[in-house]
């Protein structure tokens, strides 16, 4: 038996993906303590997990990246917020370690301060990665702009320029404050982004898998691709859904506010006269600002699992959590990225031929209605992604890797992912790329 301590960013989208892993660890007889946002504590405690809230100052730091005008500007704001949180994470995780006396740590990859403490602690530890990983590869475009993979000369030139001019500038901007923070706890300075995401943690549990994630020949040996961690908090029964006879379209906003309410507005208007039933969950946006037509139900939060069993399409902001949850259920996605990692997520939806992407600048009721129709025709692509996710091992594979790290048996002999069957081979693996501008 091992005492594990998991520490995450307080946002729900950061803790929910690892919940199945924590439950699996507990099922195997390990002790698990989780430090996360206060809002996640009560439903997780009902599952029997020992949950404590992180420092309230962490939850008071709001993400304002939605105010940025460009994807790179949004990334810069996002990292600045994470760096501000890092200074509270350091003493918070130090207190948690003293209280829980763990034998191994699991740390949210976006928790820069907690990662520095984990590195310095001398304990076995792992990063939990829940978004498209910004690790360079010879096989994929540089992270951040949502570029389509290209393997010709023009693509290689494009990628080299993007790495140097765009991402190089971003790294030079964000690394100094991160290294200043790390120096304060006696951690070594980072050379670049790859140093953090690929070289820091002995194990990186990446909650994704092929064919949604691009195929790479050069994954870092620390990576294990285990597929998405899908979990919904317990909720009241959705008996009203049984009476719905039309195809269901699920609309979702981000749980972390990013001013994406016009996605719901466009969907309610654009689909009002269609032969579908719309279920819209507004999450970070107040639902009182919308009027639901006769063929729609509007709520702030609903469990997505039961709805996905009936859904013909999911329209979302291209958040990694809801996108992969939809595809794991075999439901195609209409992705409307607003910022953060969402351009990368939306591009993967398109390249996997599991849905379509509609740029937010073109978000209009008529265009969204057409995009939903196109996405519904991508059922086979979504099923292919679901099959790939199913082969990745999920919580079982994640728990096994964590046990190896905790026991000192983790090595580089195993591949970083489970090979998908031929039925799960994505179109881009054969050189075909589906794209919708």
pLDDT digits (tens, 9 = 90+) for 80-139: 788 889 899 999 999 999 999 999 999 999 999 999 999 999 999 999 999 998 888 989
The H helix count followed by the E strand count for the chain is: 16, 13
Does 435 have pLDDT greater than 70? no
At 114, list the tokens.
Answer: 């907690």
Would you kindly state where each structural domain of the chain is located, as residue ranges? 3-231+389-430, 239-385
List C-alpha distances in Å: 325 to 88, 321, 372, 377.
Answer: 31, 6, 18, 18
Does 427 have pLDDT greater than 60? no
Does 429 have pLDDT greater than 60? no
Q: Which of 113, 114, 146, 109 lies closest to 131, judged by CA?
A: 109
pLDDT digits (tens, 9 = 90+) for 41-55: 888 988 889 999 999
For 219, phi then psi, to 5°, come to -60, 140
Does 238 have pLDDT greater than 80? yes
pLDDT digits (tens, 9 = 90+) for 345-401: 999 999 999 999 999 889 999 999 999 999 999 999 999 999 999 999 999 999 999
Residue 411: per-residue pLDDT: 63
Range of lowest pLDDT (18-27, 100-109, 121-130, 278-287)? 278-287
Residue 431: per-residue pLDDT: 36
Range of lowest pLDDT (57-71, 95-109, 278-292, 387-401)? 57-71
pLDDT-derived band at 70 (thresholds 50, 70, 90) equals: low
How far is C-alpha 287 from the geometric centre of its chain's CA atoms? 24
- Quickly name the fold that domain 3-231+389-430 has: Rossmann fold (3.40.50)
Beta partners for residue 333, in sequence order:
314, 355
Does 74 have pLDDT greater than 70? no
Q: What is the mean pLDDT of residues 316-344?
A: 93
Edge-first strand order for the sheet with 248-252 is 296-299, 277-281, 248-252, 311-316, 333-335, 355-357
pTM: 0.88
Contacts of 13 by beta carbon, 8 Å cutoff, 6+ apart: 130, 254, 255, 256, 319, 320, 321
Neighbours of 150 (CB within 10 A): 14
Q: Which of 77, 113, 58 lies closest to 340, judged by CA?
A: 77
The residue behind tokens 């290209």 is 150
Contacts of 73 by beta carbon, 8 Å cutoff, 6+ apart: none
For 206, phi then psi, to 5°, come to -100, 115
| Beta strands, E only, 44-169 | 50-53, 104-108, 125-129
Task: Provide the 8-state DSSP code for 375.
Answer: H
Residue 66: per-residue pLDDT: 58
**Are the C-beta atoms of 357 and 350 separated by less than 8 Å?**
yes
Q: Which of 375, 386, 144 lies closest to 251, judged by CA?
A: 375
pLDDT-derived band at 193 (thresholds 50, 70, 90) equals: confident
Superfamily in which the 239-385 domain is placed by CATH: Glycogen Phosphorylase B; (3.40.50.2000)
Edge-first strand order for the sheet with 104-108 is 50-53, 31-36, 3-7, 104-108, 125-129, 203-206, 223-225
The average confidence (pLDDT) of the chain is 87
**Complete DSSP assignment for 209-270:** -TTTSPP-S---TTEEE-------------GGGGG--SPEEEEE--SS--S-HHHHHHHHHH
Element (H, E) at 3: strand 3-7
3-231+389-430 matches 239-385 in fold: yes
């Amino acid at each position: 038996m091992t005492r594990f301590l998991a520490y995450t960013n307080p946002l729900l989208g950061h803790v929910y993906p690892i919940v199945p892993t924590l439950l699996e660890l507990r099922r195997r007889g390990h002790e698990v303590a989780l430090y996360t946002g206060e809002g996640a504590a009560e439903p997780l405690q009902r599952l029997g997990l020992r949950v404590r809230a992180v420092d309230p100052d962490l939850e008071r730091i709001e993400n304002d990246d939605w105010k940025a005008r460009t994807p790179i500007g949004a990334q810069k704001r996002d990292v600045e917020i994470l760096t501000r949180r890092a200074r509270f994470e350091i003493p918070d995780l130090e207190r948690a370690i003293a209280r829980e006396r763990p034998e191994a740590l699991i740390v949210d990859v976006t928790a820069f301060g907690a990662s520095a403490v984990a590195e310095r602690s001398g304990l076995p530890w792992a990063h939990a990665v829940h978004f498209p990983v910004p690790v360079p590869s010879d096989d994929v475009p540089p992270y951040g702009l949502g570029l389509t993979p290209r393997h010709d000369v023009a693509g290689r030139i494009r990628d080299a320029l993007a790495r140097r001019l765009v991402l190089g500038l971003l790294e030079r901007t964000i690394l100094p404050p991160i290294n200043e923070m790390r120096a304060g706890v006696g951690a070594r300075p980072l050379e670049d982004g790859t140093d953090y995401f690929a070289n820091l943690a002995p194990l990186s549990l990446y909650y994704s898998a092929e064919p949604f994630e691009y195929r790479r020949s050069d994954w870092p040996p620390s990576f294990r691709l285990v597929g998405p961690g899908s979990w919904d908090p317990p909720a009241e029964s959705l008996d009203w859904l049984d009476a719905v006879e039309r195809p269901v379209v699920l609309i979702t906003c981000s749980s972390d506010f990013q001013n994406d309410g016009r996605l719901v507005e466009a969907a309610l208007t654009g689909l009002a006269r269609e032969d579908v039933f719309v279920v819209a969950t507004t999450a970070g946006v107040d639902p009182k600002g919308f009027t639901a037509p006769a063929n729609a139900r509007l709520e702030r939060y609903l469990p997505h699992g039961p709805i996905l069993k009936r859904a013909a399409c999911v329209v979302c902001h291209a958040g990694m959590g809801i996108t992969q949850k939809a595809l794991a259920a075999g439901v195609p996605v209409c992705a409307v990225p607003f910022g953060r990692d969402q351009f990368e997520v939306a591009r993967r939806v398109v390249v996997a031929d599991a849905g379509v992407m509609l740029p937010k600048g073109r978000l209009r009721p008529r265009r969204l209605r057409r995009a939903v129709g196109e996405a519904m025709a991508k059922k086979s692509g979504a099923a292919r992604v679901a099959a790939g996710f199913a082969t990745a091992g999920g919580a079982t594979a994640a728990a096994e890797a964590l046990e190896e790290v905790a026991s000192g048996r983790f090595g580089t002999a195993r591949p970083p992912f489970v090979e998908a069957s031929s039925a799960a081979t994505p179109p881009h693996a054969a050189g075909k790329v589906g794209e919708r501008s």
